[in-house]
Amino acid sequence: MNLPCITAARRFDPDAHRSFWLAGQRVGWIREGDVRHLARWPDVFDIEPARVALAPRFDKDVDSRSAALGTVIGALAAAGCIPGWRDEIYAIRNAFDDAPLAYIERAAARFFGTMTYAVHLNGIVKCADRAPQLWIARRSDTKATDPGMLDNVVAGGIAWGLGVEATIGKECWEEAGIGEVLAASALPGRTLHVLQSIPEGTQAEQIFVYDLVLPDDFTPHNQDGEVAEHRLARIDEVARWIAEGAMTVDASLATLDCLLRHRWIDEAVCSGIEVLYAGPAHLEWPSPPR
């Protein structure tokens, strides 16, 4: 079985990007083709051959950095350079527990290639008279990213101000109509680290994987319009969708983590996936020449 999602999760060419720096820290990647857009603000960015840095005069505090970036992000979105505006705040931080270096609109995280954080939940149905099954969602055709593709029953980015468990509870209800009490029984799997080039820019993301055993008489019901349908599928069907690339990269990896931990799939099939658990992708980024 060919699993392109494992390769895609590390499909990234640093030579096609310039590293992005804030407050003396490397925090992201900007595509070479997008650097020219930032040249409109020479007072905001120091643009060098190997990197782009926010000008030092904004380094006095988080608010100064956020305000400077916010002005640029708004103009880039108006020009069509940053699609899929979400009205949701993300913090720029290299580790989940780090203090924020700046706050930005969620849609801008891919343009600047900054670290983002997400939860993915595998909805498992176990019955005595048949093999385990998984609830799989199909994303709405109007989604800004990966429209129409198959996804985990619950998946979502972690906005600033929310922790992992709070995000699980929020997304469980919005995406599948899973109540608070049932959502609280979700159990953690492993943590995945993705670094890949995508149409919007760079996805550098840490994904917290969870499993939730759902009652066999429960049917997910989307609440926010972001899911077109839900399918209850056999393990072999889900494995085929992953191999065919019908599922998003994130969902494929989160599902494979579940299948491996429960020994519902042969480890040999997932050769190479171990590197995605090894550590944050951004720690492997090469330092730019000085």
Domain boundary among 75, 90, 112: 112
Q: Are residues 104 and 20 in the same domain?
A: yes
Q: What confidence tens digit (pLDDT) does each residue in 56-109 have? A: 999 889 999 999 999 999 999 999 999 989 999 999 999 999 999 999 999 999
Q: How far apart, in Å, are the Cα atoms of 113 and each of 158, 193, 200, 202, 209?
A: 16, 14, 9, 5, 22
Domain with residue 82: its CATH number is 3.30.750.160
Same-domain status, 155 and 25: no
Are 246 and 155 part of one and the same domain? yes
Report residue 66 as tokens.
């956020």
Q: Is the confidence at residue 279, as pLDDT, over 90?
A: no
- Taking only the tens place, the pLDDT of each residue in 199-234 is 999 999 999 999 999 999 999 999 999 899 999 999
Same structural domain, 175 and 216: yes
Q: How much is the pLDDT for 272?
A: 87
In a domain, 286, yes or no: no
Shared domain check, 203 and 134: yes
Strands 17-22 and 51-54: parallel
Please, which residues bridge with residue 54 across strands? 45
pLDDT at 290 over 60: no
Rounded to a whole number, what is the distance in angstroms from the first to the last CA of the chain? 44
Same domain, 87 and 231: no
CATH number of residue 226's parent domain: 3.90.79.10
49 & 142 share domain: no
Long-range CB contacts (within 8 A, 24+) of 286-289: 286/14, 287/26, 288/18, 288/19, 288/26, 288/50, 288/51, 289/50
Contact status, residue 270 vs residue 277, Cβ threshold 8 Å:
no
Tell me how far CA of residue 16 lies from CA of 35, 107, 285, in angstroms. 11, 21, 13
Q: What's the mean pLDDT in 140-156?
A: 93
Q: Do 26 and 141 fall within a single domain?
A: no
Burial 35-74 (b: 16+ CB within 10 A, else e): bebbeebeeebeeeeebbbbeeebeeebeebbebbeebbe
Domain that holds residue 46: 14-112
Domain boundary among 53, 82, 112: 112
Q: Region 108-133: what's the mean pLDDT?
A: 95
Q: Do 242 and 136 have their domain in common?
A: yes
103 within 8 A of 160, measured Cβ to Cβ = yes
Q: Is residue 56 part of a domain?
A: yes
Q: Does residue 8 lie in a domain region?
A: no
Residue 264: what pLDDT? 96
Q: Among 87, 112, 137, where does a domain finish?
A: 112
Contact 39, 222 (CB under 8 A): no
160 and 107 within one domain: no
Q: How many domains does the chain have?
A: 2
What count of other Cβ atoms lies within 10 Å of the Cβ of residue 33?
Answer: 9
**Any idea which of 150-159, 199-208, 272-281 has the lowest mean pLDDT?**
272-281
Residue 4 lies in a domain: no
Same domain, 209 and 227: yes
Domain check: are 92 and 137 in the same one?
no
